[in-house]
Structure 1
């Protein structure tokens, strides 16, 4: 019963976010109200505010978190014993179901790029999670590795994610995101001689 309620809540949250993205794509972030969003999502205003405090949060959706078991395995030096590969394994689940409609993902990208407030908010969320990942890298590699090196590793990962996202959206063969990310990681390793 509890799992069913969580699934229902997650589905409603995703539906609201999809509607918010569509409205943002069509009208811009300031071109619709929370009442418009409630109507588009076919939920009451009260329900809408039970999920999201405002439009910005509705468009960005619920932010994923790292899995505790994955964090423990990463901090212990796994799963592969290679920092970049293990970082990939740690953060890739944050992307959720990347088999989602590519048009929806492209719409998300357009909304972010055309709305500075959305970009600022997503950057704040990225900064929060990247600080956590940096701390996990330092815990794994030891204090001698240093936060500066950990930050470089996480920044490289973010750049690879961005490049992979573009190739994923443009891929006529519709290969999964992980394929594009792994190609970007291989290219980066080759370019850096790693």
Structure 2
């Protein structure tokens, strides 16, 4: 269902986005470690229970967009009709990048040091990277008849996701002058996909 539109034509922000923005403000003001779920809920003007309707832990607010991309990846992979598993993965990752809201920059990456996130950032990233890797290797395995844990599905997943992650990091670091995310992801994936597809 579409988000309700504001009078100016912009979609109304979801409660999850309001909570994520409140958390980012607090992490910048007082640090990640000194910010509690109660602080975030109060800043957003909602209850603690509402927070847990959207997130299972405080660290989850750092990854609102990435979690959405991870959840959409299996469907994007299955939508591809390209006979090449590699090209299908490329197509799905480009679609996810194209759908990313350019105004939603993951401040956890851009401001990790200022926010004092540290090891929690590394742990929460690892969980999400593993989920993406599992989705891609399972898809490649189904397309090729290989077991998802076999070398080829693992290689495709690692190489393609590694290139996309590198592009994402550069996009974040480019600041206000950044171009659309899909341009970065496309530039990173093109040589990798060509090399893998030409094996």
For the aligned pair, the TM-score class normalised by the smaller chain equals 0.7 to 0.9
Preserved contact between residue 87 and residue 197 of structure 2 (Cα < 8 Å): no
Q: Compare the two structures and name the one with the higher helix fraction.
A: 1
Query: Counterparts of 1:44-59 in structure 2 under 5 Å?
Result: 44-59=47-62
SS at match of 2:164: helix
Query: Counterparts of 1:62-81 in structure 2 under 5 Å?
Result: 63-64=67-68, 65-66=71-72, 69-74=75-80, 78-79=81-82, 81=83
CA distance in 1, matches of 2:12, 2:179: 29
1:167 aligns with 2:170: yes
1:85 aligns with 2:87: yes
RMSD between aligned alpha carbons?
A: 3.4
TM-score by length of 1: 0.75
TM-score by length of 2: 0.73
Q: CA deviation at 1:11?
A: 1.0
Deviations 1:45-99 (A, max 9, x none): 232232223312233337221366534334xxx23x3433320222344455242
Q: Give the gaps of 5 or more residues in structure 2.
A: 6-10
Q: Give the gaps of 5 or more residues in structure 1.
A: none
Deviations 1:108-148 (A, max 9, x none): 31355742122212211221231122111010112289721
Q: CA deviation at 1:19?
A: 1.9
- CA 1:93/1:112 → structure 2, altered by over 3 Å: closer, same or farther? farther
